[in-house]
Structure 1
C-alpha cells in the first residue's frame, strides 16, 4: 500500500510543483498509489494516523513536504513495525532529508524510493514537558532557547516567504538567529544526563537534543551525531556574552564551535532539563510551548526509511 501525504503549500507553494513532477513518474510507471493533500495545520497528523490504522500489514508512507510536515506524519504514525517511511523534501530547511543524504530532483528521489530494497533504520527522539498531554516525537532535533525561538519565529516569518521566492530560504534561520540573539533572555539551567547527577549552567542560551548533526537549515550543532547509535547528542551553550556569541556564529555554522568555552556536546540515551524561567521548546522546528521542565529520550531503531 503506497500512500503520499502532500503539503502543496511548503516552500511558499513550491511543494505543489514538486509533487506534480513526482506524481508524473508514478503515472508513467503505472504504479498504484493513494495521495492526500493537507488542508490545515495538523491535517498530516490525522492523515498518517488513519492510514496506519487501516489494517494493512505493509504500508509505504511518503511525505511530500518540509520538516514540519514530516514531523506531523511521524507523530501521527502507529504500528511503526508495519510502516516504511519516505520523504520527498519540499521545505526551506530540509534538515531531515539532509541528514538522510536525500538529494536530487523529485524524479530522482521518487525513483530511489520506489527502487529501495533495504531500509535505513533510524532512531527517533521523544520529548515531554511540564503540562504536555502527550510526548512529541522528533526525527532531527528538539530543544529550548535560541534555536527554538528562531524556529517559532520562522513558522510565521514574512522574511521566510520572501527568501523562499528568491531560493534563499535557508538564510531565514541565520537572519532570525542574529535578530533573536540580542533580544532573548538567557536563564539558569540544570541538566541531568542518563540519571548521573545534575550539571548546572548559568545564563543558558540554548540546549539542543540532536538526532542528526544539523538543524536550522544545515547548522551542524552536533557534528558527531549519529541517528543510528541509540543516543541523542545534546549541544548546550551557556555563559557566553551575546556579543561574543554573535562573533562565534561563523564557527558554529562551520562545525568549529566545540573548541569554544561555553559550548558542549554530551551523548546520552536520555536527559532532563530544568530552567529557572520558561524558554521556547521546539521539536523538529514545531513550537511546543514556553516551558521550564523537559525530558528527552532516544527511541532506538524506531523508523524504517526507504532510501
Structure 2
C-alpha cells in the first residue's frame, strides 16, 4: 500500500444533525494542503451509502481506500455495501461525526474529526477487525454490524431517541450522547419483560424476564456506555448480554455500575461469548443494529463472525 493512497470519500451531510457537513470544509482544506488525492460522493438518502459502497467495491481502482464521514449508521451501511460485494479486503477509514460514535470508542480512535483524519493519513497498512453478521429467519433478514444488535430496552431507547426533538438540539451542542441517556427513564417505565431463549455452545438458556438483550462486537453502546468492558474487535468472539427486568431502584443502581463497567458480577446479568450465538423471542420487541431501527417484531437471530479491513491508527 503506497504512502499516499487515493481516497474514495462518502459524506453523509446530515449525520450528527449536520456535524458532518460543517466539518467537511476543514477536512477538505487539510486534504488539499497535503495534496491527498480523493473522489467525493454525497449520501442523499437512507441506504444510499450501501449502494455507493457496493458500486465502489465492484469497480475499485488499485490502492484506493473507502473513507466514510458520518455516524455509526453511515459506517454500518458502508460495511454492508462492501460485504455484500464480498470485498471485506477493501480498507475502510472512518471519521466519526454522529451522535453516539461508539465504534470510535470501541476501536480506540479519536472522536475529533481533524485528529482522526491525521490518524488515517499517518496509517501505513490496513488492520483486520471483527464484524458481526446476523441472519433473522423470521423475516429472512440479514446484515453486518460493527457495534451491536440490541433487542428490548436498548433498542427501545434508540427508537425513542431517534424520534425525539432533544436529539437534534443536543447534537447541535455536540452533546449527542446525552440524547440516549435522557430517554432511559421514559423507556424504563414502558418496557415490559419478555421471554427470550439464548443458544450458546449448542446449549439453550431460557429467560422469562428478559429486558435488555444485546449482542456486541466491542465494549460500548448507547453513546459510550460500557455494556461489556471485556469485548474487543480483534478477539474473534461476539459477546451477548442478557439483563433481566429489575425493580426501578436496583435497575438505577445497576445502570450506575454499568457506567463504571462493574455490572457483570450481578445475578441479573448473564454473559455469553462465542463465534455462533442465537436469540429467539416470542413477543413483539424493538430491535436495533448499530443505532438503526429494526422495527418492532419477533426475532429468531443467528449470529456469526466476519472480517473487515480497516485503515486506522489507534491512539497511543
Task: Tell me which interval the TM-score lies in, with the shorter structure as reference length.
Answer: over 0.9
> Secondary structure of the residue that 2:99 maps to in structure 1?
coil
For residues 240-296 of structure 1, the C-alpha deviation after alignment (integer angstroms, 9 at most, x for no partner) is 234421332111111111122201221111211111212111111111232323324
Give the aligned partner of residue 92 of structure 1.
99
Give the aligned partner of residue 170 of structure 1.
177
Give the aligned partner of residue 27 of structure 1.
32
1:56 matches 2:61: yes
Query: In the aligned structure 2, how far is the partner of 1:62 from the partner of 1:298?
Result: 26
Identify if the C-alpha distance between structure 1 residues 167 and 74 changes in structure 2 by more than 3 Å, giving closer, same or farther: same
Query: In the aligned structure 1, how far is the partner of 2:77 from the partner of 2:88?
Result: 18
Q: Is the 8 A contact 1:178 1:246 kept in 2?
A: no
Among 131, 134, 159, which residue is 1:124 paired with?
Answer: 131
How many angstroms does 1:150 deviate by?
1.1
Q: Is the 8 A contact 2:134 2:304 kept in 1?
A: no
Alignment of 1:138-217 (within 5 A): 138-195=145-202, 197-217=203-223
Identify unmatched segments of 5+ residues in structure 2: 1-5
Among 236, 240, 243, which residue is 1:234 paired with?
Answer: 240
How many angstroms does 1:221 deviate by?
0.5
TM-score, with structure 2 as normaliser: 0.91
How many residue pairs are counted as aligned between the two chains? 306
Query: In the aligned structure 2, how far is the partner of 1:66 from the partner of 1:227?
Result: 18
Give the aligned partner of residue 17 of structure 1.
22
Identify if the C-alpha distance between structure 1 residues 57 and 298 changes in structure 2 by more than 3 Å, giving closer, same or farther: farther
1:46 matches 2:45: no
TM-score, with structure 1 as normaliser: 0.94
Q: Is the 8 A contact 1:279 1:292 kept in 2?
A: yes
Query: In the aligned structure 1, how far is the partner of 2:171 from the partner of 2:198?
Result: 37
> Secondary structure of the residue that 1:151 maps to in structure 2?
helix
How many angstroms does 1:107 deviate by?
2.8
Identify unmatched segments of 5+ residues in structure 1: none
RMSD of Structure 2 on Structure 1 (CA) = 1.7
Identify if the C-alpha distance between structure 1 residues 231 and 8 changes in structure 2 by more than 3 Å, giving closer, same or farther: same
